[in-house]
Amino acid sequence: MAQNSSCKITVLITGGGGPGYPLFYKALRDSKVYKIKVVAVDLNKYAGNLYKKEWVDVAYHVLPNNSPKYFNQILRIIENENVDILISAVDEELSLFSKNRERLKESGCYIVLPPVHALENSYDKGITYTILQEKFKMPKTFVYNPGLDMRKIFDQLDGKVVIKLSRSRGNRFAYIIDNYEELRFYVKKLDKTKKDFLIQQYIGGREFNISLMFDKEGKCIYSICREKMDPPAIRPNTTAGLIRRNKEMEQAAIDATKMMELFPGTSNVEFLMDKKGGIYLIEINGGRHAAQDMNLIHCGINIPEMIISMAIGKDVQPIDDFQIKEGAFCLKYTDEIIVDFSDVATL
């Protein structure tokens, strides 16, 4: 794709009404390199981010991404708006876009995502564990099957466990269990979903998230450690993240992400640190940015601008590591917005 930096570039953001995108919109508007038109889509027409005129130029209400008509709907939007770059942070649809990158390219639209097999492997926590367990310290984990002896597993995991779906976003459908009867209850509950799930050793302590970016050759552009500062609990989203440089975790995140073949693009890797300072790799969210990355942008890493540069074939160099210091604290907040739906013809 040949583009001049003075040209206007149209970026399509899918899932654009969600809480993980304010940082992207702000960074896109702050770009000193590109003049950007932002098109945002969401299945929820009441998602307030769609209506922020200073963030979004054009908004569409779309079908759920598991609809067989969803991808064709995205293609029509790409054609209607002359979209150059597609960016998504919705785990469930990343493989769809990666698998169809050539069809997107035929429409004049480019993505920066790892290959589909790598995204599928990272989205499945059981497969991730199987691939990485011999190379990294990870909580002891069992992939559920009906033949497992729950009493034996509970005793092996020292009487406190986490039970979670193998394929889910964040900490959705994850439960901390501290007695055998409760374990039996949640195993029965998740078994009814007919979906794979894990029974995992509970590691008490501090939680960390490493944000990374790689180019198409597997060169690391940045790897920055952030501590999750919310009270320890199973929660669907992190609302407070503090940059806390940790070279051991940052390097382990690079090694694990490369081992999973998650390049090019952004990913984030979850770690736990126990009370003795022991570090455990928990999971990898492949192919997407973290919703707490505003503190990285604050420190000068314009993530979406770098994605655009990669998409149009520009070389993106590793950042000056010394510019990223500890202490930038990202706090999420909610606000209200009043809109006139009669003015939003595209929804």
Q: What angle do CA 286, 93, 282 make, to 5 degrees?
A: 30
* Amino acid occupying residue 162: V
Can you give the pLDDT at residue 3?
47
Dig out the tokens for 304 from the structure. 């979406």
Q: What gap in Å lies between CA 249 and CA 271, rounded to an integer?
A: 8
* Amino acid occupying residue 213: M
Can you give the pLDDT at residue 23?
84
Can you give the pLDDT at residue 22?
86
- Per-residue pLDDT reduced to its tens digit, 232-276: 654 556 788 999 999 999 999 999 999 999 999 999 999 999 999
Can you give the pLDDT at residue 1?
53
Please give the helix or strand (H or E) that residue 23 lies within, else none. helix 22-29
| CATH 3.40.50.20 describes domain 8-112 | yes
Q: What gap in Å lies between CA 33 and CA 35, rounded to an integer?
A: 7
Can you give the pLDDT at residue 2?
44
**Which residues of the chain register pLDDT less than 70?**
1-6, 169-172, 232-237, 342-347
**Which region holds residue 300: left if phi is over 0, alpha if psi is between -120 and 50, else beta?**
left
Q: What gap in Å lies between CA 14 and CA 21, rounded to an integer?
A: 10
Residues 3/9, Cβ–Cβ less than 8 Å: yes
Q: How many CB atoms lie within 10 A of CB 257?
A: 27
Can you give the pLDDT at residue 206?
93
The string over 277-295, giving b where at least 16 C-beta atoms fall within 10 Å of a residue's C-beta and e elsewhere, is eebbbbbbbbbbbbbbbbb
- The residue among 71, 62, 63, 70 whose CA lies nearest residue 102 is 71
Q: What angle do CA 144, 158, 193 make, to 5 degrees?
A: 25
Q: What gap in Å lies between CA 258 and CA 253, rounded to an integer?
A: 8
Q: What gap in Å lies between CA 29 and CA 22, rounded to an integer?
A: 11
Please tell me the CATH code under which domain 140-201 is placed: 3.30.1490.20
| CATH 3.30.470.20 describes domain 204-331 | yes
Q: Domain segments of the chain: what residues?
A: 8-112, 140-201, 204-331
Dig out the tokens for 119 from the structure. 């995204």
Q: What gap in Å lies between CA 208 and CA 7, rounded to an integer?
A: 39
pTM: 0.91
Dig out the tokens for 275 from the structure. 């009370």
Q: What gap in Å lies between CA 182 and CA 335, rounded to an integer?
A: 37
